């Protein structure tokens, strides 16, 4: 080890540099979303809803645009023989999750 170097300071500097590269573009609580087209977002939501137990036969979901830029909500349209209450709960959870990760491209 070199004389006069502080190992704790070098570790702290490397951790700080790593965190800065991982969070590049995100400043002060800014959320980064990935933009998707309407069809891709609808397909992504439907596939995720079908992963829920009891919702494997949900046939369709509808993406409804919000007034916010890139905002959307998800509504079930074709439930098949799935329990509507369980499917609606799954759709609500999927909507919340997908809003965190994606936004609609215009």
Where is pLDDT greater, at 36 or 86? Answer: 86
Task: Say how far apart CA 91 and CA 77 lie, in whole Å.
Answer: 11
Tell me whether residue 17 is in a domain.
Answer: no
Domain of residue 92 covers 33-104
Among candidate residues 12, 82, 17, 4, the one with its CA nearest the CA of residue 50: 82
pTM: 0.67
Where is pLDDT greater, at 64 or 103? Answer: 64
Tell me whether residue 4 is in a domain.
Answer: no
CA angle 61, 65, 67 (to 5 degrees): 155
Pairing of strands 34-36, 102-104: parallel
- What is Dmax (Cα atoms) for the chain? 73
Tell me whether residue 43 is in a domain.
Answer: yes
Tens of pLDDT along 1-13?
556 566 656 666 6
Where is pLDDT greater, at 85 or 11? Answer: 85
């Amino acid at each position: 080890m070199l004389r006069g170097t502080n190992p704790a300071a070098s570790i702290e500097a490397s951790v700080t540099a790593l965190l800065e590269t991982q969070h590049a573009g995100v400043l002060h609580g800014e959320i980064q979303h990935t933009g998707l087209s309407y069809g891709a977002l609808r397909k992504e939501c439907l596939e995720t809803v079908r992963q829920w137990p009891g919702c494997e036969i949900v046939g369709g979901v509808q993406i409804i645009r919000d007034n916010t830029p890139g905002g959307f909500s998800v509504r079930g349209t074709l439930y098949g023989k799935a329990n509507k209450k369980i499917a609606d709960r799954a759709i609500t959870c999927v909507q919340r999750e997908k809003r965190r990760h994606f936004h609609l491209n215009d």
